[in-house]
Amino acid sequence: MSNIMGQTITITLFGESHGASVGAVLDGLPAGEVIDWDQVRREMERRAPGRSALSTARAEADAFEIQSGFFNGYTTGTPLCAIIKNSDHHSRDYDHLRHVMRPGHADYTGKVRYGGFQDFRGGGHFSGRLTAPVVFAGAIASQLLSQRGVTVGAHILQIGSVQDQFFDPTGETEQRLRQLKEETLPVLEIEKAAAMEQYILEAKGQLDSVGGVIECMAIGLPAGVGNPFFDSVESRLSHMMFSIPAVKGIEFGDGFALAGMRGSQANDSFYYDGPVVKTRTNHNGGINGGITNGMPVVFRTVIKPTASISRRQETIDTDTGENCILEIQGRHDPCIVQRAVPVIEAAAAWTLLDLILTTPQGR
């Protein structure tokens, strides 16, 4: 299994949804960094389940335990390992899923790939539970980015048919991005939060689920970070984003809307703002040739509807080799978009920190 990502700094994920714990090993972090663990805990709480009617009833504290890499108040430069223990899991809810494949899940593909030896309880290693250590890593990366003048924030752009306004592509304030982290449903138009909540609860009442779109922005990035082709900023961020369960699409800047523009519209004109080079628009999301141009990096990810729904669905029984009907039991999110926001932020922060530390100008 490929569970390691990064170049100068790497993250290794381990654990299963219903195992003893999940966790991460973070290698390559600079020595001598101070970490605000209370801030890390606040980020973990944003992702944690069981906090409202909009998420699963599974109640996990997402409390982490540092095993190595931090001593006398500073990072040591050696691998920083953290475990997050699992406590509230109902494995019996998944006994029959060894052979009855859930539509939209990795049950079938995982069984084929690993010959039936995978841990199928709660999705095992394929579960969104593994995003908890991603948020842990991203919370640390965000603090190191902040010291370098970089802030990452995100909001829910869309849930179902309810849409929030877009970020200002030429930049939001650091205060605005940080304020969004305090909201259960982080949106720019406050009145849209109630409409989104109602949309989610209606789907829940119909034993169904909904998806949405998350828009993410990084401000304060200097020009010159990244590389062309295989290690472009878009390539690296996309690789990380598609590692998050339920992400099914990504676009940078105006993304697919660029197909309807002419070059005269899509090009971002440069100008000097004193000694600083800026662009008057940001259709390209702050990236040219795979390298940051100094404007905000802006991208959007599509989060599919939660695969686990309580409605009857057609599927297969791999023991009998026959078609069958499945009614999923257990506790599930009617919408994972709101819990995915801190995951997207964390994944972006970790990737951008790695890019900054890897690019010669960022050393």
Residues marked as binding for NADP(+)?
Answer: 47
Binding residues for FMN are 125-127, 289, 304-308, 331
Residue 180 C-beta-side C-alpha neighbours within 13 Å: 26
Q: At what angle do helices 131-146 and 337-358 cross, to 10 degrees?
A: 50
Residue 284 three-state SS: coil
Report which residue type is found at 102.
R
Cα separation of 328 and 204, whole Å?
A: 14
As beta bridge partners, residue 324 has 315
| Distance between start and end Cα atoms, the chain | 31
Binding residues are 47, 125-127, 289, 304-308, 331
Q: Is the Cβ–Cβ distance between 23 and 68 less than 8 Å?
A: no
Nearest to 137 by CA among 292, 1, 5: 5
**β-pairing, 64-68 with 70-71?**
unpaired
Nearest to 11 by CA among 143, 135, 147, 127: 135
Residue 236 three-state SS: helix
Burial of 267 (0-12, 13-18, 19+ CB in 10 A): middle
Q: Is the Cβ–Cβ distance between 277 and 223 less than 8 Å?
A: yes
Residue 83 C-beta-side C-alpha neighbours within 13 Å: 10
